[in-house]
Amino acid sequence: MFLIFALIKSRTFLDHKGWHIMDNRLDRLAENFVSRTSRIALMREYGNSKSSFVGENAHGEDVFLSVYTDRIIVSTMQSNGWVRTNFYDAQGNLEGETYKPYWGSEKGVCKND
């Protein structure tokens, strides 16, 4: 299992409108995303949020975090031109992972010419 947030930078997250969310608790939970307990706490504390959260991992890749009361979906815009999406269940366990090229990637797979 590739641990997405193991190396996440401490930073302020933005909501879907680009507003700063000054929430140190969210930052701490995201930094410790490798912990199943932290993933469960994210769902419990932020599961009713109407926004997705955007951060940046230690590799400079954009990470989109969608938190629901019963699941978490994490999409990482990888520097290799692919989007890795990880799915976590209500118990904080990894359910699955997908990889897709993102639109306009240099690979040309999805590029609109």
Domain count for the chain: 1
pLDDT in tens, the chain (113 residues): 333 443 344 344 554 454 444 467 777 787 788 899 999 999 999 898 887 888 888 788 888 889 999 999 999 999 888 999 999 999 999 999 999 987 665 554 444 33
Verdict on whether the full-model pTM lies above 0.85: no
Q: Partners of 99 in the beta sheet? A: 84
For residue 104, the surrounding DSSP H or E stretch is none
83 φ, ψ to 5°?
A: -105, 120
Q: Is residue 6 part of a domain?
A: no
- Count CA atoms closer than 13 A to 15's CA, side-chain side: 10
For 40, the domain range is: 13-101
Q: Which of 89, 109, 88, 86 is nearest to 98 (CA)?
A: 86
Q: Is residue 1 part of a domain?
A: no
**Which pLDDT does position 107 carry in this prediction?**
52
